[in-house]
C-alpha cells in the first residue's frame, strides 16, 4: 500500500490522549451539499478540544430520493430486468469478464478482493492508500451496455464532479479520482456478476448500497486532508465479526450483536487517534441483512454504536433542520424547536413520521448515558435539540457539562412560556402512506383463535403493524403502504379465512406525543374535539401502552390540516396576557 499523500498544509492534531471522543454523524444531503462547510466550519471547530470521529452516509443531492443509495438500489433492480440482460449466459461473455467475476462475486464486493494484499483484514484508507488496478474492465460481446451500467456512470460522474469541485490539491485530487474510478469499476463488476447468476440476495443488495458510504467517506477524507485536517478513511466491512451461520439467521441481530459491533468498531477507531477517522456508516454483513433488519437511515445506528463503544461525550447528528420541532416545520409554520426531549419521545416521534433520527439510535446511546444532539449544518452555532438520557431533566437545567447547555439557541425561552410548555404535550407528528386493514370475525360464538389467526398471517408475510385497535371479534390495523400489490392481495386472501376484510388506502396516522400526557386530563378530549370541529374524519383511535402517545388514523388528504389544527389547539403557547385556554390540565 503506497503511503497517503500529505498535503503541505496538513495540521498534526495534538489533542490530549485522555480527551473524550465526540462522534459527529453527517447525513447524505449534508455530505452532498455541504462537505466543504463541514470541514471548514464544523470539524475544524471541534478538533482542538475533542477526539473527533466522523460517520458519513452516502451522498445525496437536494433530496434523499435522488441520492446515491437510491441510485444504487435502482442499479440493483436494473440487474434483474430481463430486457437488460447483455446476452443471457456466461457463454456470451469474453474471458475478461469471466476472470473478473470470481472476485466480484465476493459478498463484500470489490474492496474485499483488494484488501487481500493488506496485512490485516481491517481495511483502512487515506486517499491513495490502495494499490490501483484491482479490477478488470468488463466488455460484452453483445456491445450493448445494460442500464445499470448507465446508473453507475451517473454515480461515477457525480462523485468525480464533487471531488473536482472541492479538493484543491492536485495530488490529493488525482488519488481520489483513481479511488472513485476503481470503486465504480468494482461496483460494475459486482452488478455484472449478480446479473450472471440472475439473483440478488438481501446480502448482495446490502453490499451494493455499501458502495455509497465508501465513496462518500473517501471524498470526505480527501476534503478534510485538503483543508489541513489529518483524517483517515475507515471502511467497516471486515471489522464486525460475524459467522456464516449468523448471517442467515434473522434472530441474531439483537443487543449482543450490537454490543459486538460497538466494541469492534470502537477498537478500530481508537487506533486512528490523533487522526480524525472518517467512518462508513454502512457496517457490512449483518445477520438477516442490514436493509431488512435496520432499514434505511442505518448510519445513525452505526454512529450510536460507535459513540457507545468509545464512551463518547456526545453523539452529534447533523441535519438540515435546527433540531426536533413541535411539528414538522415544513408543514406547520408555527412549530417551535424543542431544546431537550426524552429518548422515549424522540423514538416515538421517529416511528410515527418525524424521521429526524433512525428510531434504533436512541436506545444504544442512552443506555450508556450519552446524550444525542441534533444540529443544523447550515446553522452550526445554535444549540439544536438534545435527546437527554435523563428523561426527567428540566428544560432549563443542563446537568451534564458545558456541551449540553443550550447555547445561542435561536428560540428565546421566556419563563412564562417555559412554564406553559411544561404543561403541554411535546409534539405532534404525521405518518403518511398508510393502509388500514380491518377484519371482522365471521364466527358467531367466542373465538379465542381469531387474533392468533390474524397475526399468524401478518407474521408469515413480515407485515409490521404500526397501530392496532381491537375487540374480541373485530380488529383494525394500520400498516405502511409499502407492500407489493401481489403480496398485499395474498395477505388479504389469507386474512379472509378469519372473517370479512376491508382495506382502506390513502390514510395517515396522526400522533400526539409527550411524556407529560401521562399526568394530563383532557388532552385526548381536546385532540378529538379539535379534529371533529375541523371536519376531520377519524378512522381508528389508539393510545400507546406507554401512555406517551395518542394516535388516530385519518384520511391522508386531511393530514396537513389536522397537523396544524392539533398544533394550534394542543401545542401552541398563548401570547403573554392571553386568557381562556381550554385544557389540557396537569394534576
Ligand X SMILES: N[C@@H](CC(=O)OP(=O)(O)O)C(=O)O
Ligand Y SMILES: Nc1ncnc2c1ncn2[C@@H]1O[C@H](COP(=O)(O)OP(=O)(O)O)[C@@H](O)[C@H]1O
| Structural contact between residues 45 and 318, judged by C-beta atoms closer than 8 angstroms | no
Q: Show the site string, 301-320: x = touches ligand Y by CB under 6 A, - = not.
A: ------------------xx
- 287 is an interface residue for ligand X by CB under 6 A: no
**Using CB distances below 5 to 8 A depending on partner kind, what does residue 354 bind out of ligand X, ligand Y, none?**
ligand Y
In sign, the C-alpha dihedral spanning 337, 338, 340, 344 is negative
- Helical H segments across 143-254, by residue range: 147-166, 170-197, 202-226, 244-247
| Structural contact between residues 565 and 534, judged by C-beta atoms closer than 8 angstroms | yes
**Using CB distances below 5 to 8 A depending on partner kind, what does residue 123 bind out of ligand Y, ligand X, none?**
none
User: Taking the C-alpha atoms of 151, 487, 510 and 533 in order, what is their torsion angle to the nearest 10 degrees?
Assistant: 120
- 350 is an interface residue for ligand X by CB under 6 A: no
| Structural contact between residues 279 and 220, judged by C-beta atoms closer than 8 angstroms | no
- Spatial separation of the C-alpha atoms in residues 528 and 552, rounded to whole Å: 9
- 567 is an interface residue for ligand Y by CB under 6 A: no
- 450 is an interface residue for ligand X by CB under 6 A: no
- 66 is an interface residue for ligand Y by CB under 6 A: no
- 330 is an interface residue for ligand Y by CB under 6 A: yes
b/e 162-176 (16+ beta carbons within 10 angstroms → b):
bbeebbebeebbebb
Choice from 103, 207, 354, 511 touching ligand Y (CB under 6 A): 354
- Spatial separation of the C-alpha atoms in residues 241 and 256, rounded to whole Å: 12
Of residues 214 and 268, the one with the C-beta less far from ligand X: 214
Choice from 38, 53, 58, 224 touching ligand X (CB under 6 A): 58
**What residues between 188 and 217 interact with ligand X by CB under 6 A?**
212
| Structural contact between residues 239 and 302, judged by C-beta atoms closer than 8 angstroms | no
- 27 is an interface residue for ligand X by CB under 6 A: yes
| Structural contact between residues 529 and 445, judged by C-beta atoms closer than 8 angstroms | no
Q: Interacting stretch for ligand X, rule CB under 6 A, among 57-65, 243-251, 420-428, 540-548?
A: 57-65
Q: Closest separation between CB of residue 269 and ligand X, Å?
A: 18
- 296 is an interface residue for ligand X by CB under 6 A: yes
**Cα separations (Å) of 182 from 64, 185, 572?**
25, 5, 54
Q: Interacting stretch for ligand Y, rule CB under 6 A, among 43-51, 85-93, 256-264, 325-333?
A: 325-333
Instruction: List the one residue out of 34, 39, 41 whose CA is nearest residue 60.
Output: 34
**What residues between 172 and 231 interact with ligand Y by CB under 6 A?**
none
Pairing between β-strand 474-480 and β-strand 465-470 as defined by DSSP bridges: antiparallel
Choice from 223, 324, 509, 536 touching ligand Y (CB under 6 A): 324
Of residues 59 and 336, the one with the C-beta less far from ligand X: 59
Of residues 299 and 326, the one with the C-beta less far from ligand X: 299
Q: In a 3-state reduction of DSSP, which class is residue 239?
A: coil
Instruction: List the one residue out of 491, 467, 484 whose CA is nearest residue 540.
Output: 467
Q: Closest separation between CB of residue 214 and ligand X, Å?
A: 11
**Cα separations (Å) of 142 from 46, 115, 515?**
54, 32, 63
Q: Closest separation between CB of residue 59 and ligand X, Å?
A: 9
**What residues between 418 and 477 interact with ligand Y by CB under 6 A?**
427, 429
| Structural contact between residues 573 and 441, judged by C-beta atoms closer than 8 angstroms | no
**Using CB distances below 5 to 8 A depending on partner kind, what does residue 69 bind out of ligand X, ligand Y, none?**
ligand X
Instruction: Return the residue nearest ligand X (CB atom).
Output: 28
Q: Interacting stretch for ligand X, rule CB under 6 A, among 199-207, 293-301, 422-430, 539-547?
A: 293-301
Kind and range of the H or E run holding 24: strand 21-26
- 27 is an interface residue for ligand Y by CB under 6 A: yes
Q: In a 3-state reduction of DSSP, which class is residue 457?
A: helix
Q: How many residues bind ligand Y (CB under 6 A)?
A: 18
- 233 is an interface residue for ligand X by CB under 6 A: no
| Structural contact between residues 548 and 341, judged by C-beta atoms closer than 8 angstroms | no
- Spatial separation of the C-alpha atoms in residues 523 and 435, rounded to whole Å: 26
- 359 is an interface residue for ligand X by CB under 6 A: no
Q: Closest separation between CB of residue 514 and ligand Y, Å?
A: 12
- 69 is an interface residue for ligand X by CB under 6 A: yes
Q: Closest separation between CB of residue 284 and ligand X, Å?
A: 13
**Using CB distances below 5 to 8 A depending on partner kind, what does residue 356 bind out of ligand X, ligand Y, none?**
ligand Y
Residues 6 or more apart whose CB falls under 8 angstroms from that of 576 comprise 414, 416, 417
Which residues of the shown chain bind ligand X in the complex (CB under 6 A)? Answer: 27-28, 57-58, 64, 67, 69, 212, 281, 296-300
Which residues of the shown chain bind ligand Y in the complex (CB under 6 A)? Answer: 27, 29, 64, 319-321, 324-325, 327-330, 349, 354-356, 427, 429
Amino acid at each position: 500500500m503506497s503511503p497517503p499523500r500529505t498535503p503541505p498544509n496538513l495540521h498534526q492534531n495534538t489533542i490530549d490522549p485522555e480527551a473524550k471522543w465526540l462522534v459527529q454523524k453527517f447525513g447524505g444531503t449534508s455530505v452532498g451539499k455541504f462537505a466543504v462547510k463541514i470541514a471548514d466550519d464544523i470539524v475544524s471547530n471541534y478538533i482542538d478540544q475533542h477526539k473527533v470521529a466522523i460517520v458519513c452516509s452516502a451522498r445525496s443531492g437536494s433530496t434523499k430520493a435522488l441520492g446515491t443509495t437510491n441510485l444504487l438500489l435502482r442499479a440493483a433492480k436494473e440487474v434483474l430486468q430481463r430486457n437488460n440482460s447483455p446476452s443471457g449466459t456466461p457463454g456470451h461473455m469474453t474471458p475478461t469478464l469471466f476472470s473478473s467475476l470470481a472476485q466480484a462475486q465476493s459478498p463484500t464486493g470489490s474492496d474485499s478482493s483488494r484488501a487481500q494484499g493488506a496485512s490485516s483484514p481491517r481495511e483502512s484508507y487515506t486517499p491513495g492508500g490502495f494499490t490501483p488496478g484491482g479490477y478488470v474492465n468488463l466488455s460484452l460481446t453483445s456491445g450493448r451496455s445494460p442500464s445499470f451500467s448507465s446508473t453507475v456512470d451517473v454515480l461515477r460522474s457525480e462523485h468525480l464532479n464533487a471531488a473536482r469541485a472541492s479538493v484543491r490539491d492536485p495530488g490529493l485530487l488525482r488519488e481520489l479520482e483513481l479511488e472513485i474510478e476503481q470503486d465504480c469499476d468494482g461496483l460494475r463488476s459486482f452488478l455484472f456478476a449478480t446479473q450472471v447468476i440472475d439473483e440478488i440476495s438481501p446480502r448482495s443488495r446490502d453490499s451494493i448500497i455499501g458502495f455509497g458510504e465508501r465513496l462518500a467517506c473517501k471524498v470526505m477524507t480527501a476534503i478534510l486532508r485538503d483543508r489541513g485536517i489529518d483524517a483517515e478513511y475507515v471502511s467497516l466491512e471486515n471489522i464486525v465479526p460475524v459467522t456464516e451461520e449468523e448471517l442467515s439467521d434473522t434472530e441474531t441481530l439483537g443487543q449482543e450483536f450490537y454490543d459486538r459491533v460497538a466494541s469492534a468498531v470502537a477498537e478500530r477507531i481508537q487506533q486512528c487517534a490523533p487522526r480524525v477517522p472518517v467512518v462508513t456508516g454502512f457496517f457490512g454483513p449483518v445477520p438477516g441483512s442490514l436493509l431488512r433488519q435496520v432499514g434505511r437511515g442505518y448510519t445513525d445506528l452505526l454512529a450510536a454504536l460507535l459513540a457507545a463503544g468509545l464512551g463518547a461525550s456526545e453523539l452529534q447528528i447533523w441535519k438540515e433542520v435546527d433540531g426536533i420541532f413541535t411539528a414538522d416545520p415544513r408543514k406547520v409554520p408555527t412549530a417551535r424547536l424543542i431544546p431537550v426531549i426524552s429518548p422515549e419521545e424522540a423514538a416515538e416521534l421517529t416511528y410515527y413520521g418525524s424521521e429526524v433520527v433512525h428510531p434504533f439510535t436512541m436506545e444504544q446511546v442512552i443506555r450508556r448515558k450519552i446524550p444525542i444532539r441534533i444540529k443544523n449544518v447550515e446553522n452550526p452555532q445554535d444549540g439544536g435539540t438534545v435527546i437527554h438520557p435523563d428523561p426527567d431533566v428540566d428544560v432549563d437545567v443542563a446537568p451534564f457539562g458545558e456541551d449540553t447547555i443550550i447555547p445561542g439557541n435561536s428560540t428565546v425561552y421566556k419563563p412564562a412560556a417555559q412554564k406553559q410548555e411544561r404543561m403541554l404535550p411535546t409534539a405532534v407528528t404525521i405518518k403518511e402512506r398508510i393502509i388500514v386493514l380491518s377484519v371482522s370475525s365471521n364466527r358467531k360464538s367466542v373465538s379465542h383463535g381469531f387474533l392468533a389467526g390474524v397475526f399468524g398471517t401478518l407474521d408469515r408475510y413480515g407485515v409490521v403493524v404500526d397501530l392496532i385497535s381491537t375487540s374480541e371479534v373485530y380488529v383494525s390495523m394500520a400498516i405502511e403502504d409499502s407492500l407489493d400489490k401481489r403480496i398485499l392481495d395474498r395477505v388479504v386472501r389469507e386474512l379472509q379465512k378469519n372473517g370479512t376484510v376491508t382495506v382502506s388506502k390513502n390514510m395517515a396516522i396522526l400522533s400526539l406525543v409527550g411524556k407529560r400526557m401521562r399526568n394530563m386530563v383532557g388532552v385526548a378530549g381536546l385532540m378529538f374535539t379539535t379534529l371533529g370541529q375541523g371536519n376531520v374524519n377519524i378512522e381508528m383511535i389508539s393510545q400507546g401502552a406507554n401512555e406517551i402517545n395518542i394516535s388516530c388514523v385519518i384520511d391522508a388528504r386531511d393530514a396537513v390540516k389536522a397537523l396544524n389544527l392539533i398544533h394550534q389547539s394542543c401545542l401552541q403557547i398563548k401570547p403573554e396576557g392571553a386568557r381562556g385556554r381550554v385544557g389540557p390540565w396537569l394534576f
